Structures are given as structure tokens and as C-alpha cells.
Amino acid sequence: MENFADLLKANEEFVASFKSEALGGAALKGLAIVTCMDSRIDPLRIVGMHAGDAKILRNAGARVTEDVLRTLILATHLLGVNRVLVMPHTDCRMASGTEDEIHAAIKESSGVDTRSIEIRTVKDPLAALEKDILRIETYPFLKEGVKVMGAIYDVKSGKLSPVNL
């Protein structure tokens, strides 16, 4: 517990001023955002939303993985999502090297051999984004009529630049 004492202390302070907004599980603005786990990204603030407005799906590189698709099935059929923003960002570690280079960096850093898993590095961020948008648009299990947009978030300026396909 001592490794997490700062979190528990912060939660005590949070609880002291917490006011329930009586939010349900649905995305009030009908949006799901697929973005990177990078801690410089505050997805709701970037698009002017608040807790309860959107579903946030995060992973390394903002890639549309099988788990993202699984989650979007639930979100589109049961949680009010009717549009999806795929939002990778500039200066992403997943775009800084090849699969082999990332595996080698992990091995050098910790001695762990991760070559048995796909990291999903991004050589061409625009091409990866286009592929991920297409994966969502053609996925047969999502609710009909879901709209998809891709946009690249600039971590230095805060600007969101839509990608037109």
C-alpha cells in the first residue's frame, strides 16, 4: 500500500469535495475517442467535453485493436455512441522506431524479451490512422450509421487537425 499512498491521500481530498453528477453509463454526447495512453493527452478537455460526455479508449499509439473494436461494439449498441474520433498524436513513442527497435529497447531496459507480442509501431502515422479508420468503418458488428473521423493531436500546440479521407 505504501507505493500507492499518494493516490489514496489524493482520493481522500477528492472525496471531501466530490459531488455526484448522477451520471449513467451512456456517452451523453454520443462520442467515443480512441487515443494514446500518453499522459500529455487530456481527451475530454481537447474537445471541450466533461465527465459523462464521451467514452475514452486508450492504448499505446491510439491503435484500433481487437479490444478497441470489442469495446466499440458495446459502446455503439448499449452506451449511446454514434460517432468515433480516432486521435493519435505528434511525438508518439510508437512512431519513434520499428517493432524490432522497440523490442530491443525493452530488452535493453529490463531484460524482458517481448518479441512474441505485436507492439504495433507506427512507421507512417497518417497511413496507420487511415487503416484504423477503415477498420472501424468496415467492422460489421458496430451499430449501423456510426460516423468516424480521424484527427492528429499536436502535443506542443494543443491543435487537433482533422484528416480527410
pLDDT for 110-134, tens place per residue?
999 999 999 999 989 999 999 999 9
In the three-class reduction of DSSP (H, G, I as helix; E, B as strand; rest coil), residue 115 is classed as: coil
pTM: 0.93
Mind giving me the DSSP string for 17-58?
H-------SS-TT-EEEEEE--TT--HHHHTT--TTSEEEEE
**pLDDT-derived band of residue 21, with 50, 70 and 90 as boundaries?**
confident
Is residue 76 over pLDDT 70?
yes
Residue 20 has pLDDT above 90, yes or no: no
Q: Which residue has the cell 507480442?
A: 117
C-alpha cell at 98: 520499428
In DSSP terms, which residues pair with 59 in a beta bridge?
A: 36
Q: How confident is the model at residue 92 (pLDDT cuts 50, 70, 90)?
A: very high
Phi/psi at 124 (5° precision): -125, 95
Q: Kindly list the structural domains of the chain, giving each domain's residue range(s) and its CATH number in brackets, ordered by start.
A: 25-163 (3.40.1050.10)
What pLDDT, on the 0 to 100 scale, is given for residue 1? 85
d(CA 65, CA 129): 12
Fill in the DSSP letter of residue 118.
Answer: -
Stretch 29-56: mean pLDDT: 98
Of all helices (H) and strands (E), which one includes residue 159?
A: none
